[in-house]
Amino acid sequence: MLAEKKERVIMGIDPGTSIMGYGIVLEKGSKIELITMGIIRMDHMDDHFLKLQRIFEKTTLLLDEFKPDVLALEAPFYGKNIQVMLKLGRAQGVAMAAALSRNIPIAEYAPRKIKQSITGNGNTSKEQVAAMLQRLLNFKETPEFLDATDGLAVAVCHSFQRVNTSGAGKSYSGWEAFAKDNKKRLKQ
């Protein structure tokens, strides 16, 4: 049996056609460290296809710079406006294509699953997710756009899934249960 890699870089993306958020973490054993987070702005662009080109190019640049072991994406949520769904699906697909062009595996999570894994509540606000990530990863700055912390949340969610499925195979009902069992992983 091959030894499992002790470190891995996880990139999370919250796809969008106006603002796309991303977050990159380093998983060292059972600890998670923030590498970077940010946004890719396209709200000044009118042409949808140029927005998709920008998503592909910027995602590829991030992949080449940080060399993640996996790309985790937030799945488009179901909405009433089918045009918005179509645009979000295209944005997600272009980010996936960028990862696939670099042979990087992809994981996808529903918005509720991401919120649940970070805060213990699938209906929590973006602000609450951002606040929990600040405590978990010990950063002070509040991003200008919550899209950055949304992207970061996807990466952290993916890390938690690995932790939950490795070893004893224990799964957690939410953040509180996970934190109780993993005190040594939390930064004080």
Catalytic residues: 14, 74, 147
Return d(Cα 74, Cα 113) in angstroms, integer. 9
Q: Is 156 helix (H, G, I), strand (E, B) or coil?
A: helix
CB 11 within 8 A of CB 155: yes
What are the residues whose beta carbons fall under 8 Å from the beta carbon of 121, sequence distance 6 or more?
Answer: 115, 128, 174
Beta bridge partners of 19: 41
14 labeled part of a ligand binding site:
yes
For residue 144, the number of C-alpha atoms closer than 13 Å in the C-beta half-sphere is: 6
The two tokens of residue 150 are: 């949304």
Return d(Cα 8, Cα 81) in angstroms, integer. 37
Q: Where are the beta strands (DSSP E) in 53-155?
A: 70-74, 106-109
Q: Where are the beta strands (DSSP E) in 42-166?
A: 70-74, 106-109
Please tell me what DSSP assigns to residue 116: H
147 labeled part of a ligand binding site:
yes
47 labeled part of a ligand binding site:
no
Binding site as annotated, residues for Mg(2+): 14, 74, 147
Residue numbers belonging to the annotated binding site: 14, 74, 147
